[in-house]
Structure 1
Amino acid sequence: MSRVSIIIPTLNEATSLGRTLRCLQALDPAAWEVIVVDGGSEDKTVEIAKAAGVPVEICDRRGRSIQMNQGAKVATGDILCFLHADTWIPDDLIAVIQQTLADEKVVAGGFIALMAGTQTTRWGISLHNYIKTYYAPLLFKPHLFVKGLRLLFGDQVIFCRRHEFWECAGFDENLPIMEDGDLCLKLVQKGKIRLVNRIVQTSDRRVAKWGSLKATRIYLYIGFLWGFGASATYLKQFYEDIR
């Protein structure tokens, strides 16, 4: 079976990383390797990863695209899986990924992200994010939607074959956000992108900080402006870092 490398970009993720790594320890079958790529955390993120026996790559430049590319460069698996430090996965993740990419027509995939916190499940925003996977490409790139474009975001645990990732030049390191959408636009030139009918759970910390209405407005605003061609550098001002 194909070997799956899991790459986790981190920056001050001490609150979430431990739980994510415990999920990874429960994987059956196990991942080929897990690599944490840290962008200069000032908390105990690196210590938590090392205590769990996970190798840590220190990146001298911050940025999710930069860090994920660095992880991909050192990864040795056939498949790359990009996992956020605040996203929790099912124990059969590896088998699901292998089965999905066993179809040679499928170039990449991701999961349905259920956004939740300690006391709340964000059903409305989670549903919208699910629907957006389909309506965004249908609305803005209908010719690519027909070819199999589905717009995936990082909290959906994007995975693809390593050689096809690099044939597309990986993530664009000049993009401060929307690097995942940009990768989808490149990968669909090689095959279909599939949304797997399985759930991963991701932290609602951004929605908890902003509130549901503000978060929905920001997500829609960024999504529509990006669809109409606004630069990711401009859009980043509306998407503050929250840890």
Structure 2
Amino acid sequence: MSCVSIIIPTLNEASCLERTLHQLSILNPPAGEILVIDGGSEDETVAIATKASIKVLSCQPSGRSLQMNYGAKAATGDILCFLHADTCVPDDLIAVIVATLEDKSIAGGGFISLMTGFQTTRWGVSLHNYLKTYYAPLIFRPLLFFKGLRLLFGDQVMFCRRADFWDCGGFNDVPILEEADLCLKLVRLGRICQVNRIVTSSDRRVAHWGTLKATGIYLYIGILWGLGVSPTYLKKFYEDIR
């Protein structure tokens, strides 16, 4: 079986990292390696990862795209999987990833993301995020859509072959939507696939904004991105929430 490297960019993720790492500890089959790439956390993030016997690498300056590229350079697996610290995955994650990429026509993939909180599942927001994977490329990149483009976002646990990742130059150095940009590059090498399996992510941003505001922001950012607006400008509407 191919070796899968799981890369987790972190910055002050102590509230959720322990749970995520626990789930990764029971993967069957296990990951080839798990790397936490920390951007200078001031909480217990690094201590939690170290206690779990996870390799921690420091990346400065911080920035999710920079940290994930840094982790990809350090990774030894032939498949890379990019995981947010607040996202939980099924215990057969590795088998699903390997089986998906056995199809040589597929260059990359991700999962269906379900946003959850304490006694709450954000069904409406989650449905919109699922549909956005399809309607965003259909509207803004229709030719690429019919060649297999699907736009994946951070909570969807994106994965691809290491060779293809570097063939495309890795993640662009942008403050937001770096996964979507990578999809635009990867589709030159093959289809992008949304696997029919669920991962769950924290609803902390939706809880902070409220459902209507969150949906509006996601739509606004997606439309402006599709029209070519700078990610630096779009980042102003997407505050960091821990």
Shared fold, TM over 0.5: yes
- 2:162 is matched with 162
What is the TM-score when the length of structure 2 is the normalising length? 1.00
Deviations 1:8-58 (A, max 9, x none): 000000000000000100100000000000000000000000000000000
Where do 1:1-243 residues align within 5 Å?
1-173=1-173, 175-243=174-242
Unaligned residue ranges in structure 1 (runs of 5+) = none
Tell me the distance in 2 between the aligned counterparts of 1:239 and 1:154: 13
TM-fit CA distance, 1:106: 0.3
Write the letter of the residue equivalent to 2:221. I
CA deviation profile, 1:167-203 (whole Å, cap 9, x unmatched): 1000012x10011110000000110000000000000
Q: Distance in 1 between matches of 2:16 and 2:240?
A: 15
Q: Give the superposition deviation at 1:86.
A: 0.1
* Displacement over 6 Å in runs of 4+: none
Structure 2, unaligned runs of 5 or more: none
CA distance in 1, matches of 2:195, 2:215: 24
Task: Quote the offset at 1:238 in angstroms.
Answer: 0.4
1:87-121: CA deviation from partner (whole Å, max 9, x where unpaired): 00000000000000000000000000000001210
Query: What's the RMSD between the two structures over aligned residues?
Result: 0.4
Amino acid in structure 1 at the alignment position of 2:228: G
Q: How many pairs were matched up?
A: 242
The percent identity for this pair of structures is 69
Give the structure-1-normalised TM-score. Answer: 0.99
Output the amino acid matched with 2:170.
Answer: G
Shift of 1:60: 1.5
SS for the counterpart of 2:114 is strand
Matches of 2:158 and 2:60, distance apart in 1: 24
Distance 1:197 1:178 in 2: 22
Shift, 1:235, TM fit: 0.4
Instruction: Report the 3-state secondary structure (helix = DSSP H, G, I; strand = E; otherwise coil) of the residue aligned with 1:147.
Output: coil
SS of match in other structure, 1:8: strand
Q: Which amino acid aligns with 1:50?
A: T
